[in-house]
Structure 1
């Protein structure tokens, strides 16, 4: 019985880590896409997970909700933040701070 419980806990930890990694990769791709749309520079080539909580998806299933931030710039002078929300492995919201456009 203890072996089965230990096995299930191990599998749960691995699954949690794997889905978190997939979510982060998806978010990096979205951040690069957002920056590319407005001709912005995606800084540090990474995103940072800010929050993690359990919520319900649109279908009513329990799932993890992850909030990520990333930084971008228009000229390399000043950093601005962007935010991406991932619910159940799908991007549900993305936004960029207001930024200055330089000619």
Structure 2
């Protein structure tokens, strides 16, 4: 009986972690789309790639920092890379690689 309780608790924790990951990814993707529109560049493939995840100390205490990479184009010919960093649920950095302007 105790084994089942442990197993179900583990499943619930895994689901909560996955759900928070999805919420963070959506928040990051929304920020990237908005920034790309402001910079007049095109987000390619409409996807983010999780590059790193680490717990770090900061002004608000310990938070999970996630770094996502994405690709964009300014002219439609070349692909450039960008990066967005989240601390918890807050976007703390968004950078675009130096790119050609139309």
| TM score, norm. by length of structure 2 | 0.90
Which residue of structure 2 lines up, in the alignment, with residue 36 of structure 1? 37
Which residue of structure 2 lines up, in the alignment, with residue 98 of structure 1? 98
Name the CA distance, whole Å, in 2 between partners of 1:56 and 1:20: 19
Shift in Å, 1:38: 1.1
Which residue of structure 2 lines up, in the alignment, with residue 65 of structure 1? 65
Q: How many residues align?
A: 101
Which residue of structure 1 lines up, in the alignment, with residue 17 of structure 2? 16
Say yes or no: does 1:80 pair with 2:65: no
* Contact 1:73–1:80 (CA under 8 A) maintained in structure 2: yes
Name the CA distance, whole Å, in 1 between partners of 2:36 and 2:30: 10
Name the CA distance, whole Å, in 1 between partners of 2:84 and 2:29: 9
CA-based RMSD of the aligned residues comes to 1.3
Task: Spell out, residue by residue over 1:51-91, the C-alpha distance to the aligned partner (whole angstroms, 9 max, x if none).
Answer: 1112235321x332110011111111101111000111211
